[in-house]
Chain A
Amino acid sequence: MSILFLIIPFALLIALIFIIAFSYAVKKGQFEDLDTPAYRMLTDDEDTNGVKK
């Protein structure tokens, strides 16, 4: 069962990566606007793109 010494740190490591990534993302303001990203993604390509050259 010594594999638990490896697998639990790995599981915790992955969880930790996600927590770090999460708090990092929050700090960077990724989630301060929870409305416009959902709309913006609809206007990012050829069909409806306002910025097409």
Chain B
Amino acid sequence: MNDKKLETFSYDDSVVKKFAIATVLWGAVGMLVGVILAAQLADWRFNFGLEWLTFGRLRPLHTNAIIFAFVGNSIFAGIYHSTQRLLKARMFSDMLSNIHFWGWQLIIVLAALTLPLGYTQGKEYAELIWPIDILITLIWVVFAVNFFGTLKKRREKHIYVSIWFYIASIITVALLHIVNSISLPVSLMKSYPIYAGVQDALVQWWYGHNAVAFFLTTPVLGLMYYYVPKAINRPVYSYRLSIVHFWSLIFIYIWAGPHHLLYTALPEWAQTIGMVFSIMLWAPSWGGMINGLLTLRGAWNRVREESILKFFVTALTFYGMSTFEGPLLSIKSVSSLGHYTDWIVGHVHAGGIGWNYMFAAGMLYYMVPKLWKTKVYSEQIAKAQYWTATLGLLLYYVSMVVAGITQGLMWRAVDAKGQLVYPSFIETVDKIVPMYWIRLIGGLLVLTSMLMMIYNLYKSIKNAPKNVEEEEFQAEALDHNKYKNEKGHRKLEGLTATFTVLATIAVLVGTIIEFVPAFLSKDFIEVSEKVKPYSPLEVAGRDIYIREGCYNCHSQMIRPMVSEYLRYGKASEAAESVYDHPFQWGSKRTGPDLARVGGKYPDSWHYFHMKDPRKVIQGSIMPEYTWLFGEKTEYQVLTKKLKVLKSMGVPYSEEEIYNASELAKEQAKEITLNMADAGVPMKMQNKQIIALIAYLQRLGVDMKEEK
């Protein structure tokens, strides 16, 4: 090292340390919530009769905590740690790093407060309300500026493949989040997405699938390409394959969203695109898995000794299994069995626990000793953690696949006379409750393993020497003189970050300006004359349905299959949900589909069912919704709500809008009067349960089959 142009620099590891600690703490919280949910499905009494802890409100907290808090913090820790080293540069701005860290933690805390209180957008994995959505966008931009700024001041000309994965993830997550979250506010805590029905479904699953792709997968693959070679101290099996892996994966991933909507009212051709691209994804995914696993070629014996490698190998194996199972489930005929069942729940946990948690554990065991200049406190605990987690994961996965396939087969069983073999839905639930108990044990084991890691890392850090000085490094500066004479666009091209951001913004702005008005005009939404907008009381009831997270267990989408026709009625059509902001098609049937529940039972059936489900259906696992019988319907805000809905194309008359509150009260009175014979007192008329009944009784009525 003799060059005169050597520059001295250091890395900002303090932000990495913070993200690492946040990872394990939020990880434990997210898993604890998961365990509570698992218990609730095994025995409804674990809902504790508290509105804040019921399954429908808690499940979004679990998914958001695991995705954005646990995996989110882990990828930030890894990105901040590896990027600085790969680019031989300190992060662009320590201040931005800190804003990013604290801003992200604030978002998580806000999520943990709002979701149990019932403030939700009603879209899976995008439940957070609009002010938090804006905060997420801002913090993400801070992250992007910080990252691209570092890229600009790098001292290494070649960008290692990990960095490519980070770039793609940062840009795409921003795009997905913004497009999916556009909504018009009614108040600080409530807004309606601008998309409705089938449109909302398409945007939602374009987002939802790519949240898995570009939040849970591509950033972690980038980390994998850094930490696996590092841990084994060998170069990646094939750098060429890693580049092919990257470009083909990100190109194909974005199209696969519609595989979440197979056999729904989404047009056939869109479903086929989703299916075909999903199957294509198999190739790049396995290319990546093979590349990761073969990096260990000739060093497999070390997997026996080192728990870091155990975690990494298991993570890669589960990445491979999940990316095999994903395309499999995207085949229409397989989806017809697996969709809406616990098989999907098993699938995502194979990814979430097998890939994300295992990888994060390996990465932390590699990173923490280096950051704190210490050793892992106990290799024994790490090993015990590994086996506990693996056992828990296997119990979880196997029980869910068994439950899912069992229930899926029961739902579709039709006998020789053309009748359902299991006509009552509850039979198919009772059958799989034992599997829910096994899943609970699996979940408990995974949580235990997480706590073991927290203890192990805590002890490691505690044993670390105090007041270690920040290390300094030297490297040659990137020779910018070469590009000095470039002007105009050539110069812009040299500024990787600026170029990418400008191009994205340019097209984004243009597209929004061009298309948003198109959405706000009612000419663009197909309407069937039979389908009428919800009455004001039904709107109020629908918002309660969304608030309680009913969509977490009930779908509103009957697929065109014999067994579904027999069980639920005529297949759902796109026109039926044109006024649904947001759509509530759902993705899971822990309980039966509700698309045509309107008129199926008397009002009083719903009244008593919501109060105590087991009085009406023996063996039901649904929580009790007692607070709906105490809280009053908010009539005042209905005018504002209808106004917002009208601005998005729902055809309400001026009269309806201004008399919304009166109209709602009238309908509520009528419903309550209807139930007088069943013993429902008139004083209940202004309670939320009545609004909910109004909504439920409306579902699917407009286009019901005429007998």
State the A residues within 8 Å of B (CB). 1-7, 9-11, 13-22, 24-25, 29-31, 33-42, 44-53
Contacts and interface: CB of A to CB of B under 8 A. Distances in A.
Contacts of A9: 511, 515
A10 B672 CA distance: 48
A53 B473 contact: yes
Contacts of A6: 179, 203, 511, 515, 519
Interface string B517-529: 0110000111000
18 contacts: A1-B526, A2-B199, A2-B524, A3-B202, A5-B518, A7-B203, A9-B515, A11-B254, A15-B254, A17-B171, A18-B250, A21-B167, A34-B239, A34-B243, A38-B239, A41-B226, A52-B471, A53-B472
B247 A22 contact: yes
Contacts of A24: 493, 496, 499
Contact of A42 (B198, B206, B233): B233
Contacts of B200: 3
B574 to A, nearest CB: 7
B370 A44 contact: no
Interface residues of B, number: 66
B49 interface: no
A51 B1 CA distance: 7
B515 A14 contact: no
Contacts of A31: 243
Given A11-B254, A44-B86, A33 B175 contact: no
Chain A binding site: helix, strand, loop or mixed by DSSP?
helix
B171 A41 contact: no
Contacts of B235: 38-39, 41-42
A46 B8 CA distance: 14
Interface in B481-524: 493, 496, 499-500, 503-504, 507-508, 511, 515, 518-519, 524
A20 B493 CA distance: 11
Contacts of B236: 38
Nearest to B207: A7
B518 to A, nearest CB: 6
Given A3-B519, A24-B499, 18 more contacts: A1-B267, A2-B519, A2-B525, A3-B202, A4-B202, A7-B179, A9-B511, A14-B175, A18-B168, A19-B251, A21-B167, A38-B229, A41-B230, A41-B235, A49-B473, A51-B475, A53-B472, A53-B473
Nearest to A14: B254
B240 A34 contact: yes
